[in-house]
């Protein structure tokens, strides 16, 4: 049984070794030529894929909870969903969470993930107090904020060692509900205005109809909100639906995407409306359907996520949305987010500006379109998110990551480059 | 809150079963040989769920100790879940009777020994639940795995009888028949993905089935169909097949 990532592309044969204790891991590290850690495979592309895979998810004990400070110590294979199951009923939530809770703590650190509140709280590394990591020679190091190994590992895509344990601080909440406001906009200009005028609210995310044309380019549903204060903390994960098999590839053509977009967009009332929704609906709508990646058929899909600096966001996004809508290639999901200041980590994705994430099924002509989009991203000084990527060229990648040489040198100096490698790290030579 | 006693608490399935019951508010007795190696799991569950976990030294083949083991539990459990299991390659068990004996003793004799004691207690209290983790391998003798399979077949039959006996006193008995599960034991086997369950899913299935008072659980449920077919292949054909 080979491990594949969420995009189901590429599929290569691999040997899996499960992490259960540090002694066997130490032997494994010393014996194996090269490998890459794999959390729960929720990265879309090839960043956790190689011929040898270290499966970290079974390494998932909770170790300690400091009630007064709200700091949890746990092993790297713990899923964010497990943290929520335990701590939401006790009045705690993650400071930073991506759009799925089915990722491991190790994966969250390695991708330095961000959530709907990046403009306020920053990346996941902000809430990491400290972690331990096993290096290429089998030694275990404890790493604190500010250490070079911290800067390299948060966002470092598993290329610096195996993250073993982490101390993460949680935030207090009084409710499992979020007071949400939905704002329907007519075009990109209105969308930007709506983001800016709501940026004092902690959470925001926009769903863009990326097949809209002409004047309507950039029309969206913007959801903003914050936790309610009603004291209701009864949190139980819902039973989820599951997609039992890969959909045939014709199921997802431009027409069905158009219909979907129309329905989704038409469902919301015009202007501004208010709702009270629970944690899972607000933060993790896609987790409600297990294996939804199968709707893209057995050839798989990819997510294209880029970010543009604030100054060039409007122009750059307009150009990219135009390019996509003329290409006719559909994307169910086009998610636009606002970001605050970048951090110091060598390879973290966010910079101050806007990012757009789009899903595309793998088919003829797709990579040509994405190469075109790359050119626009580079032209506007943007960058591509490694954890979603499966095809970016070394040149395009380098343009967006000014600290890449520091990272490369750090890896070389510490012999990490001979031990930790993914298909991605080889492609973009990091 | 009541205790659940988990016998054979070291396996991957047991670990997830323990977490699932703890998540739902049960305190736990985790019983195994060299139970001190379960310290990490105890700590995990206490941080995770805030319930009380006690480790208990227990050897399922040391039958003479079972009576006193059960007697010494400060608070009698509301439920007992037997997860212990022993499996070696069929070829080894064929050659070495000690391996056959160990298979039978862990999977059947030892389980009978402890469950007899539990059943008498539950019956007189007129409450409680018993869960026995057997295997689809017990549904039909196959040349590839019949020594292990026969020990599980015996355990399945035992649980069936026990269920009928305890029905009147309101004690439920659930027989669990897992198919392939992704665990330490199967780490290096090339299992078919669609038939292979994750330990946490098995644990959830067990919890839900037990709470509903069900009798027999196949997990994944597709195994019900698979075994239905396998059971109905006539013997004259079956013996020529290499299943
Ligand atoms: C529906 C959905 C929504 C998403 N939304 C967002 C979002 O809003 N924001 C966002 O930032 N991301 C988002 N993501 C991406 C996801 O958060 C990241 O890809 C995350 O890193 C996946 O974690 P994982 O545990 O599945 O790791 P994997 O996908 O298995 O691995 C990801 C990377 O982490 C490394 N890694 C994993 N474990 C370790 C370890 N113990 N030590 C060292 N390296 C390790 C791997 O080598 C790999 O490079 C989303 C993904 C999905 C499927």
State the nearest Cα–Cα gap between B139 and chain A, in angstroms.
26
List of residues 6+ apart from A320 with CB closer than 8 A: A306, A356, A373, A376, A377
Task: Tell me which DSSP letter residue B162 carries.
Answer: H
Where chain A has pLDDT below 50, the residues are none
Residues of A within 8 A of B190 (CB-CB) are 1
The CB density around residue B1, as the number of other CB atoms within 10 Å, is 10
| pLDDT score at A262 | 66
Buried residues in A274-308 as b, exposed as e (16+ CB within 10 A):
eeebbbbebbbeebeeeebbbbbbeebbbbbbbbb
Ligand 1 atom closest to A156 (CA): 49
Residues of A within 8 A of B23 (CB-CB) are 85-86
| pLDDT score at A340 | 98
Residue showing tokens 């899913």: B201
What DSSP assignment string belongs to A89-148?
Answer: TTTEEESS--S-S-SBHHHHHHTT---TTHHHH--GGGGEEEEEEE-TTS-EEEEETTSH
State the nearest Cα–Cα gap between B127 and chain A, in angstroms.
28
Residues of B within 8 A of A62 (CB-CB) are 43-44, 47-48
Helix axes B39-49, B12-23, angle to 10 degrees: 30
Residue A314, class by beta-carbon neighbours within 10 Å (0-12 exposed, 13-18 middle, 19+ buried)? middle
The Cα–Cα gap between A175 and A278 comes to 9
The Cα–Cα gap between B47 and B53 comes to 11
List of residues 6+ apart from B13 with CB closer than 8 A: B83, B133, B178, B181, B183, B199, B202, B203
The Cα–Cα gap between A270 and A274 comes to 11
* B183: its two tokens: 């665990």
Q: Which of A19, A36, A38 to mutate to test the pocket of ligand 1 (most atoms within 8 A of CB)?
A: A38
Interface touch B196/A1, C-beta < 8 Å: yes
The CB density around residue B37, as the number of other CB atoms within 10 Å, is 12
Residues of A within 8 A of B41 (CB-CB) are 61
Interface touch A86/B187, C-beta < 8 Å: no
The Cα–Cα gap between A355 and A382 comes to 9
Do residues A357 and A43 lie in contact, with contact meaning Cβ atoms separated by under 8 Å?
Answer: no
Residues of A within 8 A of B12 (CB-CB) are 58
How big is the CA angle at B151 (ends B149 and B156), to the nearest 5 degrees? 90
**How far apart are the two ends of chain B, measured CA to CA in Å?**
46
How big is the CA angle at A136 (ends B189 and A132), to the nearest 5 degrees? 90
Interface touch A63/B43, C-beta < 8 Å: yes
The tens digit of pLDDT for each residue in A246-293 reads: 777 666 666 666 666 666 777 778 889 999 999 999 999 889 888 888
The tens digit of pLDDT for each residue in A23-55 reads: 999 999 999 999 999 999 999 999 999 999 999
Ligand 1 atom closest to A38 (CA): 30
Interface touch B41/A63, C-beta < 8 Å: no
**Among B25, B45, B48, which would you mutate to test the A interface (most chain A Cβ atoms within 10 Å of its Cβ)?**
B48
Do residues B181 and B205 lie in contact, with contact meaning Cβ atoms separated by under 8 Å?
Answer: no
Do residues B6 and B28 lie in contact, with contact meaning Cβ atoms separated by under 8 Å?
Answer: yes
**Among A13, A61, A104, which would you mutate to test the B interface (most chain B Cβ atoms within 10 Å of its Cβ)?**
A61
**Among B12, B37, B44, which would you mutate to test the A interface (most chain A Cβ atoms within 10 Å of its Cβ)?**
B44
Phi, psi of B32 (to 5 degrees): -165, 170
State the nearest Cα–Cα gap between A137 and chain B, in angstroms.
25
Residues of B within 8 A of A20 (CB-CB) are 184
* B202: its two tokens: 């098995």
Domains and CATH numbers, chain B: 3-239 (3.40.50.720)
The CB density around residue A269, as the number of other CB atoms within 10 Å, is 9
- Which helix H or strand E contains A224, and what residues bound it? strand A220-227
Interface touch B48/A1, C-beta < 8 Å: no
State the nearest Cα–Cα gap between B44 and chain A, in angstroms.
4
Where chain B has pLDDT below 70, the residues are none
The Cα–Cα gap between A11 and A362 comes to 13
Interface touch B187/A65, C-beta < 8 Å: no
Residues of A within 8 A of B47 (CB-CB) are 62-65, 72, 86
Which residues of A lie closer than 8 Å to B, measured between beta carbons? 1, 16, 18, 20, 58, 61-65, 72, 82, 85-86, 90
- Nearest chain B alpha carbon to A239: B204
Dist. CA A113 → ligand 1 center (Å): 7
The CB density around residue A94, as the number of other CB atoms within 10 Å, is 24
Nearest to B170 by CA among B217, B123, B205: B123
HSE, CB side, 13 Å, CA atoms: give it for residue A152: 24
Interface touch B40/A61, C-beta < 8 Å: yes
Task: Tell me which DSSP letter residue B64 carries.
Answer: G
| pLDDT score at A239 | 66
Cα distances (Å, whole numbers) of residue A156 to A74, A152, A241, A320, B19:
20, 6, 34, 28, 32
State the nearest Cα–Cα gap between A86 and chain B, in angstroms.
6
Q: Which residues line ligand 1 (CB under 6 A)?
A: A 5-6, 36-43, 47-48, 56, 76, 98-100, 103-104, 106-108, 110-111, 113-115, 157-158, 162-163, 286, 387, 422
* A365: its two tokens: 């002509």
Interface touch A20/B40, C-beta < 8 Å: no
* A263: its two tokens: 């329905």
Do residues A208 and A321 lie in contact, with contact meaning Cβ atoms separated by under 8 Å?
Answer: yes
Q: Closest partner residue to B47 among A1, A64, A85, by Cβ?
A: A64
């Amino acid at each position: 049984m080979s491990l594949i990532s969420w995009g189901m592309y590429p599929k290569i044969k691999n040997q899996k070794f499960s992490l259960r204790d540090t002694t066997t891991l130490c032997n494994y590290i010393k014996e194996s030529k090269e490998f890459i850690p794999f959390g729960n495979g929720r990265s879309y592309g090839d960043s956790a894929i190689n011929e040898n895979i270290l499966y970290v998810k079974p390494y998932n004990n909770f170790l300690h909870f400091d009630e007064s400070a709200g700091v949890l110590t746990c092993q790297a294979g713990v899923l964010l969903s497990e943290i929520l199951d335990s701590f939401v009923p006790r009045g705690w939530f993650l400071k930073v969470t991506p759009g799925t809770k089915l990722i491991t703590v190790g994966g969250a650190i390695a991708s330095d993930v961000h959530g709907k509140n990046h403009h306020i709280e920053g990346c996941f590394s902000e809430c990491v107090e400290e972690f331990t990591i096993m290096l290429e020679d089998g030694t275990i190091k404890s790493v604190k904020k500010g250490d070079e190994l911290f800067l390299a590992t948060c966002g470092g895509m598993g290329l610096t060692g195996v993250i073993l344990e982490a101390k993460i601080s949680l935030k207090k909440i009084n409710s499992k509900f979020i007071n949400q406001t939905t704002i329907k906009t007519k075009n990109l200009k209105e969308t930007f205005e709506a983001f800016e005028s709501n940026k004092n609210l902690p959470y925001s995310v926009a769903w863009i109809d990326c097949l809209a044309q002409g004047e309507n380019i950039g029309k969206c549903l913007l959801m903003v909100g914050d936790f309610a204060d009603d004291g209701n903390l009864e949190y139980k994960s819902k039973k989820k639906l599951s997609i039992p098999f890969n959909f045939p590839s014709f199921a997802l053509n431009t027409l069905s995407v158009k219909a979907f977009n129309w329905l989704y967009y038409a469902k919301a009332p015009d202007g501004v409306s208010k709702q009270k929704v629970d944690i899972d609906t607000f933060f993790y709508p896609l987790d409600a359907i297990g294996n939804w990646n199968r709707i893209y058929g057995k050839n798989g899909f990819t997510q294209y996520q880029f970010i543009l600096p604030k100054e060039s966001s409007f122009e750059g996004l307009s150009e990219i949305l135009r390019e996509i809508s003329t290409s006719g290639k559909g994307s169910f999901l086009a998610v636009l987010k606002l970001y605050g200041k970048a951090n110091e980590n060598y390879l973290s994705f966010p910079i101050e500006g806007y990012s757009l994430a789009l899903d595309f099924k793998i088919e003829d002509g797709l990579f040509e379109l994405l190469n075109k989009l790359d050119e626009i991203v580079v032209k506007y000084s943007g960058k591509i998110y490694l954890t979603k990527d499966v095809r970016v060229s070394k040149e395009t990648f380098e343009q967006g990551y000014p600290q890449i040489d520091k990272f490369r040198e750090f890896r070389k100096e510490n012999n990490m480059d001979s031990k930790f490698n993914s298909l991605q790290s080889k492609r973009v030579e990091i | 809150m009541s205790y659940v006693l988990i016998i054979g608490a070291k396996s991957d399935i047991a670990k997830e079963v323990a977490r699932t019951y703890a998540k739902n508010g049960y305190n736990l007795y985790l019983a195994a040989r060299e139970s001190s190696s379960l310290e990490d799991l105890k700590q995990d569950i206490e941080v995770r769920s805030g319930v009380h976990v006690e480790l208990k030294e227990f050897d399922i083949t040391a039958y003479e100790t079972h009576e006193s083991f059960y007697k010494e539990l400060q608070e009698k459990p509301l439920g007992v879940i037997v997860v212990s299991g022993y499996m070696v390659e069929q070829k080894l068990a064929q050659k070495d009777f000690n391996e056959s004996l160990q298979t039978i003793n862990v999977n059947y004799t030892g389980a009978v020994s402890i469950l007899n004691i539990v059943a008498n207690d539950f019956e007189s209290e007129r409450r409680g639940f018993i869960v026995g983790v057997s295997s689809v391998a017990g549904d039909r003798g196959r040349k590839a795995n019949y020594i292990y399979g026969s020990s599980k077949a015996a355990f399945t039959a035992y649980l069936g009888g026990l269920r009928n006996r305890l029905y009147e006193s309101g004690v439920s008995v659930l027989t669990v028949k897992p198919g392939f599960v992704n665990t330490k034991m199967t780490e290096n086997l090339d299992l078919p993905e669609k038939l292979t369950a994750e330990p946490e899913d098995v644990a959830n299935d067990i919890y839900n089935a037990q709470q509903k008072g069900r009798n027999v659980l196949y997990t994944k449920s597709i195994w019900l169909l698979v075994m239905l077919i396998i059971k109905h292949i006539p013997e004259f054909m079956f013996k020529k097949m290499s299943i």
